Chain A
Amino acid sequence: MPQLEDIRNDFLRQEVSDFIERPEERAKIIGLIAKASPAMQQIGAALIEGQNKVVDQLTRSALDAGTPALEVMDDGLIAAMAIVGIKFRENFIFVPEVLSCARAMKAGMAHIEPILSASGIEPIAKVVMGTVKGDLHDIGKNLCIMMLRGAGFEVIDLGVDTSPDRFLQAVEEHNAPLMGMSALLTTTMPNMGRTIEAFIDADLRDQVKIMVGGAPVTQDFADEMGADGYGKDAVACVALAKKLVGAAA
């Protein structure tokens, strides 16, 4: 049975020693990481530190060197995200750190996507996501994006303070069948309705399913604005997205 000392990467060994306390989780993580190649352990270490440029470079190098993509996913990216999840659960890190790690994961997956495409594996659907005009809150949106990507969606992130025109332009440019809007302020919520109206005026409303979310948003509000669905949290967002594009749950 692998031991902690069998993890060759110093940073990863320290991470497991310092942060993975439950014996069964520790044994499982050690088992996963100890068998990983040095290159995969390096990718994992960089992901846990949120170093997206390093993950980008190391993933590209590993794939160029012939490492199977699934090995990169298993031993580099997913094993590291498992550690991130444990650290977050135990309050060693918080949402900003988790989102940095998610960005690093995305940087790695960007090199695997062409391989997926060549294998005939396409994203479930494209989804445009943004926080509405006048609103600068993005944590909820970013958590939803992390979940959507993890579930197999291709996400176009428009950021914050997104105008109706910008939403329109992005949906058209990317031919996205799905769009998500977030608002955290009661003062900016009406911009969800304005954005939906912009789609109606542009004769594009029927081409896209629109979901909304955010702390002050409710199902009633979503119905009133003419949205196709409301997600109360990031998990619900993914379920709703799959439902709206007709994908398997």
Chain B
Amino acid sequence: MQKIDPKEYQKRLDTLSEILNGIAHRADELSQQRCPYKNRHNQCTASFGCRNKRKPSTEGELPRCAGDDKLDYRKAWE
């Protein structure tokens, strides 16, 4: 089996951590306005109830999110 140099592996972890830190900070900022369960198609990926959930456009798809990113979405969570 191949072997990995621990120092080389740590460099990769450091690079990855930098990318993920950027993602985490952005997620924090974004979650001030946009529900983090809302995907890029404005569908809801949450498994809990929410007053902003609407029936999907097509059967079998995820529910739609009716939240407008202007009000505190957490108040709509059930």
Residues of A within 8 A of B (CB): 66, 68-70, 73-74, 78, 81-82, 84-85, 88-89, 91-98, 114-116, 118-121, 136-139, 143, 146-147, 150-152, 160, 184, 215, 233-235, 238
Q: Bound complex: CA of A184 vs CA of B28, how far in Å? A: 15
Instruction: Say whether A78 contacts B15, CB under 8 Å.
Output: yes
Instruction: Say whether A151 contacts B13, CB under 8 Å.
Output: yes
Q: CB within 8 A of B48: which of A81, A137, A233?
A: A137
Q: Bound complex: CA of A94 vs CA of B38, how far in Å? A: 7
Q: Bound complex: CA of A192 vs CA of B36, how far in Å? A: 23
CB interface residues, B 37-57, toward A, < 8 Å: 37-40, 45-48
Q: Decide yes or no: A235 and B37 within 8 Å by CB, A78-B15, A118-B1 being known contacts.
A: no
- If A89-B26, A115-B1 are given as contacts, then 15 extra A-B residue pairs at C-beta distance below 8 Å, sorted by A number, are A69-B4, A78-B16, A85-B20, A92-B40, A94-B34, A94-B36, A96-B37, A118-B3, A119-B5, A136-B48, A139-B37, A143-B23, A150-B17, A184-B77, A238-B17
Instruction: Say whether A96 contacts B39, CB under 8 Å.
Output: yes
Q: Bound complex: CA of A172 vs CA of B45, how far in Å? A: 32
A85: chain B residues at CB < 8 Å are 19-20, 22-23
Q: CB within 8 A of B4: which of A82, A93, A119, A184?
A: A119
Q: CB within 8 A of B19: which of A78, A116, A118, A215?
A: A78
| Min CB gap A133→B, angstroms | 14
Q: Bound complex: CA of A158 vs CA of B48, how far in Å? A: 17
A-B contacts at CB below 8 angstroms, number:
109
B47: chain A residues at CB < 8 Å are 136, 138, 160
Instruction: Say whether A150 contacts B4, CB under 8 Å.
Output: no
Listed A/B pairs (15) with beta-carbon separation below 8 Å = A73-B12, A81-B19, A81-B20, A94-B30, A94-B39, A95-B31, A96-B40, A97-B39, A115-B2, A119-B6, A121-B6, A143-B23, A146-B20, A151-B17, A184-B77
Complex: chain B residue closest to A160, CB-CB: B47
Instruction: Say whether B6 contacts A114, CB under 8 Å.
Output: no
| Min CB gap B1→A, angstroms | 5
Instruction: Say whether B24 contacts A235, CB under 8 Å.
Output: yes
B1: chain A residues at CB < 8 Å are 114-115, 118
Tell me, yes or no, whether B75 is within 8 Å of chain A by CB. Answer: no
Instruction: Say whether B23 contacts A115, CB under 8 Å.
Output: no
A116: chain B residues at CB < 8 Å are 4, 9
Instruction: Say whether A143 contacts B39, CB under 8 Å.
Output: no
A78: chain B residues at CB < 8 Å are 12, 15-16, 19
A234: chain B residues at CB < 8 Å are 24, 27-28
| Min CB gap A116→B, angstroms | 6
A97: chain B residues at CB < 8 Å are 39-40
Q: Bound complex: CA of A118 vs CA of B48, how far in Å? A: 42
A151: chain B residues at CB < 8 Å are 13, 17
Instruction: Say whether A98 contacts B17, CB under 8 Å.
Output: no
